[in-house]
């Protein structure tokens, strides 16, 4: 669902599990949010953004 976030994860060789560990978001929760089953909370989005310093929130979480 989040193509840009997935692309940045691939560029940085990050799996969902690794990103979950680095951000403190539960693995299953992050997996559901990335698939669009549930929505990200703002603090989760900011935690993820910190891992991708050169990317904006708008870019990372664009859905189109």
Q: What is the pLDDT of residue 1?
A: 87
As given in the structure block, the two tokens for residue 57 are 């929130």
* Among candidate residues 3, 51, 7, the one with its CA nearest the CA of residue 25: 51
What is the residue extent of each domain of the chain? 3-59
Q: With 90 as the cut, is the pLDDT of residue 64 above it?
A: no
Q: What is the pLDDT of residues 6-45, one digit of tens each?
A: 999 999 999 999 999 999 999 999 999 999 999 999 999 9
Q: What is the pLDDT of residue 63?
A: 86
Give the angle subtended at the CA of 28 by the CAs of 23 and 33, to the nearest 5°: 75
Sign of CA dihedral 23, 39, 28, 16: negative
Assigned CATH for 3-59 = 1.10.260
3-state secondary structure of 14: coil
Sequence length of the chain is: 64
Q: With 90 as the cut, is the pLDDT of residue 47 above it?
A: yes
């Amino acid at each position: 669902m989040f193509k840009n976030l997935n692309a940045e994860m691939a560029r940085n060789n990050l799996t969902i599990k690794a990103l979950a560990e680095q951000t403190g978001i539960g693995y299953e929760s992050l997996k559901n949010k990335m698939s669009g089953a549930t929505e990200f909370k703002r603090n989760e989005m900011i935690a993820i953004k910190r891992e991708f310093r050169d990317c904006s929130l708008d870019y990372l979480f664009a859905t189109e």
